[in-house]
Amino acid sequence: MKLDIFRSLWGYTASKTQALEEMLEHGFTGMEARLPLVAEDRAQFASFLKANRVGYIATVFTAYDVLPKQSASVAEHLADLDLKLGLAAEMAPRFVNLLAGNDRWGMAEQVEFHGQALELARKHGQFCTFETHRSRSLYSPWVTLELIRQLPQLRFTSDISHWIVTCERLLDDPADDLTPFIERVHHIQARVGYDQGPQVPHPGAPEYARELAFHQQHWEAVWRSQVARGFEVSTLTPEFGADGYLHHLPFTNVPVADLWSLNVWMARSERAHFDRFSQA
């Protein structure tokens, strides 16, 4: 199995050309980014990706952005997903990463939504992974494990940093058996969280060595599972981001680290980690 590392365009404001130059310089193989909802933007981005032979992971939100509209029903989420998966098909993504549903729904609604979402993915011919994310259906490992019990065909994007915040601890107790989830992870978003936040100031800082080690153990467990499932390629996106995730100094609003440097560090570290895993 080989590892393909994707560049996240979350919070990126410079040109796509510059993003391409930077990612190629550091050995990234593709881009993970929001699905453009404006037709002209979608056509331009698709043309750019095709011309430069850049792989693409499409990020889609249901009803209607990162934080879901709280009044939106299951039916509204599904209608929005139906529309956006149709648009995603125009981009021919490697797969679609979904931030879907709402954390406030009961289990019956969660099962109804995810079962219908799988049907919509089949309708549009798109392979969809469901991302673990606060505010969304998969905000908690325990909700996710119950969903797996009822819908074992679900596949996931693991951003376990969100669960660390939700549970306010590293999930390293012997009782924290995430095996059914790990066995269904398709894609990894590599960001290191800690018990009070989804993003440490810097993953290489010695004061966060325990947090880094936990996340790397989780990612390696995913890789072992993917090898057992016959994966030829594993995908990983370093996803340190802005939007309140990146720490700033009080009063000055100066960021404590350069965002791109954090993601380059993460990419380099996980490439080396994967090489060690592969050679073991």
pLDDT of residue 54: 97
Beta strands in the chain (DSSP E): 2-8, 30-34, 55-61, 95-99, 128-131, 156-158, 185-190, 233-238
Half-sphere exposure of 263 (CA within 13 A, CB side): 27
Query: Residues 50-70: pLDDT tens digits?
Result: 999 999 999 999 999 999 999
pLDDT of residue 133: 98
List the domains of the chain with CATH numbers.
2-279 (3.20.20.150)
pLDDT of residue 59: 98
pLDDT of residue 280: 85
- Bridge partner residues of 36 (DSSP): none
Dihedral (CA of 149, 155, 158, 159) sign: negative
**Low-confidence residues in the chain, pLDDT < 70:** none
